[in-house]
Each structure stands twice: as C-alpha cells, then as structure tokens.
Structure 1
Amino acid sequence: MQVVVVGSGYSGTLVANRIDRTVQDARITVINPRPDFVERVRLHQQIAGTYSAATPLAQVLREAITVRVGAVDKIGDGAVALADGGRIDFDYAFVAVGSTVVPMPGTVAVGTWEGAQQARAVLTDLPGGGRVTVIGGGPTGIETAAEIAEARPDLRVRLIGSAVGGGLSAGAHRRLRTGLERLTVEIIDDEVTEVVSDAGQFAGVVRLRSGADLGSDLTLWAIVADVPDLAVRSGLAVDARGRVVVDEFLRSTSDARIFAVGDCAAVPGARFACYTALPQAIHAADNLARLCKGRKLKPHSFPYWNRGISLGRRDAITQFTHADDSVRRAYLAGRGAVALKEMGTHSAFSSARAGVSRF
C-alpha cells in the first residue's frame, strides 16, 4: 500500500512515523519543500538567535520512509502531481501543509522558515538603538516581540495589534502586558494600514489607522491567518479560509482516500496550533490503521485545556480553558508557566519524531 504525506511539519511528520509503526506493508513517501523539519513554535527563538529551529528530516523520520524534497502542484485521483512534472501515485494520502503567512508589503513574515531566517539576518546587523516593529497582537506577535526584547535589550521593540493578548482572561491579560512592559516592549493598540519601506528594505514608516506614522528599522509581520492554496488548486472541497473540508474521521469530503490534518484541515472548533494538529495526526493515522484492519473508524474529538504564550526565556502565561477552548478565569504565570510551555513544546517535537502521543 502506497501512502503519500504532503508536508512534514508537526502533523505530517507524526502521521508518517505513526503509520510506519502501525500499518504493515505501508510504503510511505513524504513530500516537503525543504529537507528540514522546522519547529514552527520556536521560530521566534530562531529570529532572536536563542535557538536553532531546523532539524534534518533524516533525523526525525523513520528509516523506511522515503523523502521527496519539492513542491506539490495538485493532489487527487489517486496521485500527487509535483511542480517539477513528477507524479506519485497513492492508495491513501495525507494533506498536512499547515498554515502560512501573507505579509504586508515592506514587512518580513515571521511565521515561515524563510521569513524567520531573513528576519534573523537583518536583526543580527541591526545596531543598538534600532527600532523593531512587530505587527500582530496574537501569540506569534507577542512571543516574537518578547523574545527579541529579551535577547537584544539594546533595541527598541514595539508591538502593534488591534487587541494585544485579547483572547485571554482579564487577569491573564493584565499579567501579559505587565510581562511585556518589564521587557520594555512598547504596546500599541491600533491597526497598521500601510508600511512604506525604504528602497525595498524592511525599514521605513509604519502608518496606523489612528493617523500616526512610526519610524521602523525592521518591521515584522506576525499574523498567521492563511493556508496554502493546494486544496483549492486541487479542486477539493474547502471552507471560506481555503482549508480542506473533512468528515468526522478527518477524511476529505471530496475524496475519502485523502485525509487532512493540522492547520490546513477545517476541523470544527480547531485553531491554528500544533496543540491541535498533533492529536488530529494521531487520530487520522490510527483511522488508516483501522481501515487496513477492516475495523470501524472512530470520529475525531479533542478537548482543550490551556493556551501557552512565552514571554522570553524566563516568563510565560498559561491560560486555562474549558474543553471548548473558551477561557477560564484561572491562569498561571512566571516560572511555572515557563516549565509548562517548554514541556509542551518539547513534547510536540518528540511526539512527531516518535510517532506517539506524549501529551
């Protein structure tokens, strides 16, 4: 049986390794645009130079798995069409291409490996007193601004968002802003309407809806809200955001031979996070194993219990949630939250590499 996995982030890597462990006689091919596994939840550390977020796929995928480095043009009708003209047939396929970032012109996208590398290079050359602007008030923006401010206290870091930390409880929200202020991050609750860059570089003027113009020596776009258009190009059923519409077993409603997991899958109630992608990957891989054994498939369900946000290496927020991801009043901050966040991040990597659940 030929299985193709498109994408080797957290969910794709876990799917491939788990199928290799559990499905007898499966011949697995992983297609990825780069030869490395990227710990996306550590890209803010990659930018700040506090961690190397890339590991060769050969070190995270099981030995029997074939790796094809390249881009996918379309998937469907039992085959994957590659951008280089190649074709790989499959009995079952998994779409695990994750989410992506479409940056505003004049900014660097921090939610991609290429953007993180570019941002790191510019940041390394930025002299003391330089102004770094991070656009995006969600976890990606918060973690990026905090990591840079802690690693480079000689820089002036500002964070702009319409509602910085808005998804937290009132107490966690206040503690978050206190943590950012301790790192001397300037918080601006506003919307960016335009970035006017100097000669194609990432320095220039950031214009706000309020009418203010802010000078910036490096402007980073930290809003992760899009998915690759592979599913759209392939003619699969998608939702308004371009995510693959799946049934309760995580199979495409257009083609039952295709599973979709992670950020690119329209799983009801799921948010962009490896926290949700990994359980989906485990469940989809196990459903394939059930299919191969003639057993009944199980519907996917997943209860939330927290959201974690790092504030540099020595501070963090853990927001506790109800099972439906609505926030509780309770939260944890400081060293305890740091330990929980680091444990979760490490578990995500080790789970993907081992093909097992470590949550």
Structure 2
Amino acid sequence: MKVVVVGAGYAGTIAANRLAKKVGAAGITVVNPRADFVQRIRLHERLAGASGAAVPLTTMLREGIATRLGVVDKIGDGQVTLGDGASLSFDHLFLAVGSTVAPLPGTVPVGTWEGAEQARSTLAGLPGGRVVTVVGGGLTGIETAAEVAFRRPDLRVRIVGETIAPSLWEGARQRARLGLDRLNVEVVEDSVERIDPGTGEGGSDVLRLRSGRSFVSHLTVWGIIGSVPDLAARSGLDVDAEGRAVVDAHLRSVTDPRIYVVGDCAAVPGSRASCATAMPQGAHAADTLARAVGGRRPTAFSMSYAGQALSLGRRDGVIQLSHRDDTVRRRHLAGRAAAGIKERVCRFTLFGARTATYTWLRDPK
C-alpha cells in the first residue's frame, strides 16, 4: 500500500505517525517543502527572539517513513505531481497543507516560517524607541504583540484590529487587554487601509487607517491567518466558498474517497483553524484508514472543544473556557497559571504529533 502525506504540519505529521504505528511505516511518504517541522503555534515566540519553533522533520517521523522535499503542484488520479515535474503514485493520500496568509503589502506575516524569520531579523536590528505594529486583533496578533513587548520593552509596540480578542467572552477579553496594557502595548481598534512604505520620518512606513488616522511604524507584522492553499481546487476536488476541500463524515474527499483531508484545508462543519482541530482530524483519518486495512468499518469523525489558550508574554496568559460546541463560557483563567497551561498545551501538541499518542474530546451527541 502506497500512502502519500502532503504537508508535515500538525495534522499531516500525526496522521503519518499514527498510520505507521498501526499498520507499519513501509510505503508511507511525507512530502513537505522544507526539511523542518515548524511549530506554528510558536512562531510569535521565534519572531520576538526565542530559539526553537522548528525541529528536523526526521526527528518527528517514525522510523521507516520516507520524506520527499518539494511542493505539490497537483493531485490527479492516483498521482501527485511535484513542482519539479516528478510524480509519486498513491493508493491513499492525506491532504494536510494547512492555511496560508495574504498579508497587506508592506507587512511581514507572522504565520509563516519565512515571515517570522524576516521579522525576527528586522526586529533584532531595531534600536530602542522604534515602533513595531502588529495588524490583527485575534489571538495570533495579541500573542505576537505581547511577546515582542515582553522581550523588547525598549520598543514601542502597537496592535491594530477592528476588535481585540473577538473570540473571547467579554471578561476574558478585558483581561487580555489588561495584559497588553501591563506590557505597555498600545491598542488601536481600527483597520489598516494601506501602508505607504518609506514615507515617514527616517524612512519609516506610514500606516493609513480607515478612520483617517495615520501612524509611523518601523516594522509592521501581519497577524491574520488568511485562506487555504488552492491545491485542492486546482486538483479538481470539491471545495467550499473558502477553498477548503469538502469531506464526508470520515474526512474523505467527496470527490475522491482515496484522499483524506485534514487540518485547516478541510471543510469540516463546526471546526475552526487551530492545532486543536488539526490534531484530532489527522489522528482520526489515520485510524480510519487503519480500520479499512484491517477490514473494519470506519467510524464518523467526532470532536469537541474545551477552550482557547492565549499567551501574553512568558508570565501571563488567558485560558478561555468553552462549551463543547466551541461557544465561549463566562469563565476564564488568567495570570501565571494560564501561561503555564498554554506552555503545557504547546508541549503536549508537539509530543502528540511526534508519538501519535493523542486523545481528544468527542462530541457528546
């Protein structure tokens, strides 16, 4: 049996390891554009100057799993065509290319390894007193602004978003803002319309806001996750309005049941883009194929959520508790304890992807 896993993020890595654990590694090939496993949930830390956030992919995959560096151009009838013209055949495929970013011109995205490295280099060269602006009021933007402010208190850090922490309950949202305030992060609830590069004092950029206000920025980071890669659509798979591949109850493409789609690029009702979603999907899809190999009937995918974890530097954080359908509850945790929980979540996620030992909440219905 030939199995190709396209993408070695959280979903793809745990899928490959879990399948190898259950049926053996022979015949499994992971295709990824780089030789490292990138911990996307730590890219804001990397950007701000921390080490880590990437480990060699070979240390993440079980012995016997083959790797192929490259970008997949198209998935056809049992064939994967790479950007260099080479091809791989498959009996089953896991599509796990995640999500991508569409940064405003003049900004540097935190959601990609290349963007985080570029911002890291620029940040390291900024003298004290310069301005760093993070665009995006969601959890990624908040974590990035807080991390930069924590590690570089000599800089002026600003976050711009229409709403700050819109996914949190009001109490947790206010606590997140308090955490930003303690780190001296300026909060601007507005949206950036455009950036005029190099037009400010000393060659700085000028950010033009929808309200008509403008700001000077010496480094502008894009903290918004945009869309998904168009590989599924380009390959002729049925996709939803956002370009995510439409799947059945077992996470198989409705166009080609040989293809399992997991993570941010899968159109699973009620799911949100996060490693908390990607890991259960990757594990379940691998379990489903293993059941098929063993002649057993597949079970429908089922998961539910417990909350959202937000770091505010290294010593503060917010844990927003939620109902199982991901609607937020009034309760939240905050402070050092919350920061510790977030760190343990990150470590458990890496451990789960590497070992394929992972459990999750099922939908009680």
Normalization by structure 2: what TM-score?
Answer: 0.96
Paired position in structure 1 for 2:317: 316
- Paired with 1:70 and 1:351, the residues of 2 have a C-alpha distance of 25
SS in 1 for 2:172: helix
- CA gap of 1:202–1:83, structure 2 versus 1, over 3 A, is farther
Give the Å deviation of 1:358.
Answer: 5.4
Contact 1:5 1:96 in 2 (8 A): yes
Q: Distance in 2 between matches of 1:331 and 1:52?
A: 29
4+ aligned runs moved over 2 Å, structure 1: none
Distance in 1 between residues matched to 2:358 and 2:26, nearest whole Å: 21
SS of the aligned residue for 1:214 comes to: strand
Q: 2:356 & 2:304 partners in 1: Cα distance?
A: 20
**What is the alpha-carbon distance in structure 2 between the residues aligned to residue 284 and residue 146 of structure 1?**
36
Give the AA of the match of 1:68: R
Answer whether contact 2:140 2:223 (CA < 8 A) is retained. Answer: yes
Q: Deviations over 1:126-169 (max 9, x none)?
A: 11001000000001100000000000000000000001111111
Q: Distance in 2 between matches of 1:238 and 1:198?
A: 40
C-alpha separation between the residues in 2 aligned to 1:266 and 1:203? 41
1:281-300 equivalences in 2 (<5 Å): 281-300=282-301
Q: Counterparts of 2:127 and 2:70 in 1: how far apart (Å)?
A: 37
| Cα distance in 2 for residues equivalent to 1:334 and 1:358 | 27
Mapped partners of 1:325, 1:28: distance in 2: 34
- Residues 25, 64 of structure 2: 8 Å contact kept: no
- Measured in 1, the distance between the counterparts of 2:185 and 2:145 equals 7
C-alpha displacement of 1:51: 3.0
Contact 2:38 2:54 in 1 (8 A): yes
TM superposition shift of 1:179: 0.4
Q: Partner of 2:336 in structure 1?
A: 335
The residue aligned with 1:273 is 274
Aligned residue for 1:67? 67
Opposite residue 293 of structure 1, the aligned amino acid is G
Aligned to 1:126: 126
Within the alignment, does 1:3 sit opposite 2:3 as a pair?
A: yes
- Aligned amino acid, residue 235 of structure 2: S
Whole-angstrom distance in 2 between the partners of 1:172 and 1:238: 35
Give the whole-Å Cα distance in 2 for the aligned partners of 1:76 and 1:246. Answer: 17
CA distance in structure 2 between the partners assigned to 1:114 and 1:336 by the alignment: 32
Q: Give the partner amino acid of 1:134.
A: V
Match of 2:363 in 1: none
- Equivalents in 1 of 2:182, 2:25: separation in Å? 55
Structure 2 equivalent of residue 188 of structure 1: 188
Q: Contact (CA 8 Å) 1:350, 1:358: kept in 2 or not?
A: no
Distance 2:211 2:22 in 1: 56
- Rate the CA distance shift 1:141–1:25 in 2: closer, same or farther, 3 A: closer
3-state DSSP class of the match of 2:63?
coil
| 1:141 corresponds to 2:141 | yes
Task: Decide whether the 8 Å contact of 1:347 with 1:358 is kept in 2.
Answer: no
- Structure-1 separation of matches of 2:134 and 2:203: 12
Say whether the 8 Å CA contact 2:25–2:65 is kept in structure 1: no
Task: State the 1:72 CA deviation.
Answer: 0.3
Partner-residue secondary structure (3-state), 1:252: coil
CA distance in 2 between counterparts of 1:46 and 1:79 reads: 36
Deviation at 1:52, TM superposition (A): 1.5
The sequence identity of aligned pairs, in percent, is: 55
- Displacement, 1:322? 0.5
Alignment of 1:89-238 (within 5 A): 89-198=89-198, 203-238=204-239
Contact kept? 2:280, 2:359, Cα under 8 Å: no
Matches within 5 A, 1:45-56: 45-56=45-56
Per the normalisation by structure 1, the TM-score is: 0.98
Name the stretch that deviates more: 231-240 or 19-28. 19-28
Alpha-carbon deviation of 1:26? 4.2
Q: Supply the AA of the counterpart residue of 2:101.
A: V
Per-residue displacement from partner, 1:53-79 (whole Å, max 9, x unpaired)?
A: 110111111120111001000012111
Amino acid at match of 2:212: G
Instruction: Give 1:252's aligned amino acid.
Output: S
State the distance in 1 between where 2:24 and 2:10 align: 23
SS at match of 1:351: helix
Q: Aligned partners of 1:318, 1:174: CA distance in 2, in Å?
A: 13
CA RMSD of aligned residues (A): 1.3
Is the alpha carbon distance of 1:173 and 1:248 closer, same or farther for their aligned partners in structure 2, counting shifts above 3 Å? same
Partner of 1:46, secondary structure, is helix
The corresponding residue for 1:30 is 30
Cα 1:343/1:69, change in 2 over 3 Å: same
- Kindly indicate whether the alpha-carbon contact (under 8 Å) linking 1:5 and 1:94 is maintained by their aligned counterparts in 2: yes
On the 8 A contact 1:106/1:202 being kept in 2, the answer is: no
CA distance in 2, matches of 1:203, 1:59: 42
Provide the rounded CA distance (Å) in 1 between the counterparts of 2:123 and 2:129.
12
1:241 offset after TM fit, Å?
0.8
How many residues align? The count is: 358
Residues 269-318 of structure 1 show CA distances to partners (whole Å, capped at 9, x for unaligned) of: 11110011000111000000011111111101111111011000000000
**1:197, distance to aligned residue in structure 2 (A):** 1.1
Deviation at 1:24, TM superposition (A): 4.0
